[in-house]
């Protein structure tokens, strides 16, 4: 399904600068070590994107087994990495964020708001916790120059999504490239502080398609945040 090293290599080929760092977000000491490294190396952090997610093993049991047959550890494991770790990361990086532009983008899902049959309860619960803690941090940190927002992708054409669709025979529509969300992050990161305050207060949750409609291949994605609630789009 790809790796951090492969992603860093792709960024280098595209003309960027990337340093791959392997950490376990469930381990507070490793998050603190990364924050210390960034502080010592750069002194500041302009944009922090929290996208860590964990699928309990075996993944076939995660997707296809009734909740009463799933181990209780699934809920704990998903909440630890994917539900609450973003709050811990943001607070750990807070000194660096305050010295930089202070933009925090939490990648979540419409699955936080709806009972979607294809996703297990542990996924829906961890996304709901993700969005709620993100909103709380946004309120507490905005006056300190740190702007926290939640970003919902649509259906992303990831390796896992393609494999899963083939297994189930599902038809995927209006797929977003894996770079599309990144384009939306760039747009949000380029906003001036005045607009960042507005977005983090009135638009704490935004859709990638509302921020950057055009994908890397020139495709214009249909709908935005409103279309999730009307059934026009599918969540990541």
Angle at 179 between CA 103 and CA 181, to 5 degrees: 40
Is residue 126 in a domain? Answer: yes
- Under DSSP, is residue 107 helix (H, G, I), strand (E, B) or coil? strand
Rg value, the chain, Cα = 18
Per the structure, the count of domains in the chain is 1
User: Is 35 inside any structural domain?
Assistant: no
Range of the domain at 124: 44-229
146 in a domain, yes or no?
Answer: yes
Per residue in 7-53, pLDDT (tens digit) is: 889 888 988 888 888 888 888 899 999 999 999 999 999 999 998 88
Does the residue 132 lie in any domain? yes
Task: Give, in order, the Cα–Cα distances in Å from 81 to each of 47, 84, 201.
Answer: 20, 7, 26
In a domain, 15, yes or no: no
CATH number at residue 65: 3.40.50.720
The verdict on whether omega for the bond into residue 58 sits within 30 degrees of 0, i.e. cis, is yes
Q: Which segment of 27-31, 108-112, 144-148 scores lowest on mean pLDDT?
A: 108-112
Which of 82-91 are b and which e, b meaning 16 or more Cβ less than 10 Å from the residue's Cβ?
A: bbbbbbbbbb
Instruction: Supply the pLDDT for residue 225.
Output: 60
Helix then strand count (H, E) for the chain reads 12, 4
Higher pLDDT, 223 or 120: 120
Please report whether residue 32 resides in a domain.
Answer: no
- Report if residue 22 sits inside a domain: no
Q: Do 146 and 98 form a contact (C-beta atoms < 8 A)?
A: yes
User: Is 70 domain-assigned?
Assistant: yes
| pTM metric for this prediction | 0.84
């Amino acid at each position: 399904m790809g790796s951090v090293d492969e992603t860093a290599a792709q960024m280098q080929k595209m003309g960027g600068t990337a340093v791959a760092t392997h950490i376990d977000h469930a381990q507070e000491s490793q998050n603190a070590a990364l924050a210390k490294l960034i502080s010592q190396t750069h002194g500041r952090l302009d944009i922090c994107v929290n996208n860590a997610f964990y699928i309990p093993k075996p993944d076939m049991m995660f997707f296809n087994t009734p909740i009463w047959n799933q181990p209780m550890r699934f809920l704990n494991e998903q909440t630890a990495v994917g539900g609450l770790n973003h709050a811990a990361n943001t607070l750990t990086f807070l000194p660096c964020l305050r010295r930089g532009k202070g933009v925090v983008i939490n990648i979540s899902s419409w699955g936080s708001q709806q009972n979607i049959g294809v996703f297990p309860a542990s996924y829906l619960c961890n996304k709901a916790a993700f969005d709620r803690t993100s909103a709380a941090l946004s309120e507490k940190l905005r006056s300190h120059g740190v702007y926290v927002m939640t970003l919902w992708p649509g259906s992303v054409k990831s390796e896992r999504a393609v494999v899963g669709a083939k297994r189930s025979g599902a038809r995927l529509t209006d797929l977003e490239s894996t770079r599309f969300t990144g384009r939306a992050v760039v747009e949000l990161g380029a906003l001036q502080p005045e607009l960042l305050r507005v977005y983090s207060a009135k638009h704490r949750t935004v859709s990638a398609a509302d921020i950057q409609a055009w994908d890397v291949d020139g495709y214009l994605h249909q709908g935005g945040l409103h279309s999730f609630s009307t059934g026009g789009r599918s969540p990541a």
